[in-house]
Amino acid sequence: MKTTRNIAIVVAAGSGSRLGGELPKQFQKLVNKPMLVYSLELFEKSPLIDEVVLVVASDYLVYASQSIVDYYKFDKVRKITSGGETRQESVLAGLTACPQGIDLVAIHDAARPFLTSTMLEAVMQKASETGAAILAVPAKDSIKIAEDGAIVKTLKRDTIWIAQTPQVFHFDAILDAHRRGEAARNDATDDSELYEQYIGKVAIVMGSYNNIKITTPADFILAQEIIRGNL
């Protein structure tokens, strides 16, 4: 019998300005439905997730409620809250909006519509064992550190992983890490960086090269081809 209570925070508060369009990218149609809907559908169907907190820009609270949650009948979305100026602020807003008694929290970017139930299960299982886990894929390219237009160091490629979402943590620990990061004005690149700095090690679970983050028009075209089965 399941006794744990897990929640997903879907971060959809970005402006999506690099993609263009009248609506932020997460609300734009990707083939036949808004980009955000792909992730919400997966969490809605997953037995691993009990509730969902959706974080959007304050100007889109009503739109998200009526045109996304109500229209697509997402019963697990119990809270829609407004985000901040940065992703880090938006995640903290989502964590603060969560109810008490949560075991694991899966923090996911709405701009990654290709999460699968298999990947979700794997990263949730690893986080339940270790306290923290993220999806990631090995780097394919050589990674250079540069200053003033010149390479100063080449990193060892077989140690480089490209972080994805969801990133899953014991709820109390990642909330503590985010609060400490906020107090220190620590501008981290993702949630796992805050966990690493303030709590401890984060396990890596193999993601997928299809689990892309849609940022540019080229990404959007690639995503359309993935959905249509051409890639």
pTM confidence score: 0.94
Sign of the CA dihedral running 76, 109, 86, 186: positive
Q: Are 38 and 47 in contact (CB under 8 A)?
A: no
Amino acid identity of residue 228, one-letter, is R
Q: In sequence order, which residues have a C-beta less than 8 Å from that of residue 100 and are 6 or more positions away?
A: none
- Look up residue 152 and give its two tokens: 């100063």
- Measured in whole angstroms, the distance separating CA 74 from the mean position of its chain's CA atoms is 18
Quickly state the pLDDT bin for 16 (edges 50, 70, 90). Answer: low
pLDDT tens per residue across span 122-142: 999 999 999 999 999 999 999
Task: Residue 63: count other Cβ atoms within 10 Å of its Cβ.
Answer: 15
Quickly state the pLDDT bin for 3 (edges 50, 70, 90). Answer: low
Q: In sequence order, which residues have a C-beta less than 8 Å from that of residue 167 and are 6 or more positions away?
A: 106, 107, 108, 123, 132, 133, 134, 135, 190, 191, 192, 202
pLDDT tens per residue across span 86-132: 999 999 999 999 999 999 999 999 999 999 999 999 999 999 999 99
